[in-house]
Amino acid sequence: MWSKNFDYKKFIERILNCPDSRLKEARAFWSKETGFFKKLYKKYPSENFWRGISFLDCNCKHGRLSSLSVFFDKKNFYWISVLNKKWKNFNWAPEKIKSYKFKKDVDDPPNYDTKKQSLRNFFN
């Protein structure tokens, strides 16, 4: 899945509004959000992507979401499209430039007549 150095709980704390208490609701919250994160990680499998993602530029208060379930909402495609755009920007790479090899000498003679041009012929 992910390496031992990746702490997904810190990611969830950074992105979501987490409960501070240790009640049953908090345990249910953490188990639910961990399950959602595992599904998202299977779709977007990069630790660096999840470490660097931020929602400060989106329509949420202070860059924090209420739940990761917004990425699985079939009726509202806004958050799904936001995550897809961030994934595409993360994986974007410029196209490789093709290298062409040219010969120094051309063996084929030109098909048109070549004359030496004088300065007078050039201006006329």
pLDDT for 53-102, tens place per residue? 888 888 888 888 889 999 998 888 899 999 999 999 999 999 999 888 87
Q: What pLDDT sits at residue 62? A: 85
**If we measure between CA atoms, which residue out of 100, 56, 46 comes closest to residue 82?**
56
Most confident of 5-9, 76-80, 114-118: 76-80
d(CA 67, CA 114): 76
Give Cα separations from 65 to 55, 80, 95, 99 (angstroms).
Answer: 8, 13, 35, 47
Q: Which of 42-46, 55-59, 86-90, 103-107 has the lowest mean pLDDT?
A: 103-107
Task: Tell me the mean pLDDT in the region 117-123.
Answer: 79
**If we measure between CA atoms, which residue out of 24, 30, 48, 40 comes closest to residue 83?**
40
Give Cα separations from 13 to 7, 57, 85 (angstroms).
Answer: 10, 18, 22
Q: Which of 16-20, 45-49, 82-86 has the lowest mean pLDDT?
A: 16-20
Q: What pLDDT sits at residue 85? A: 93
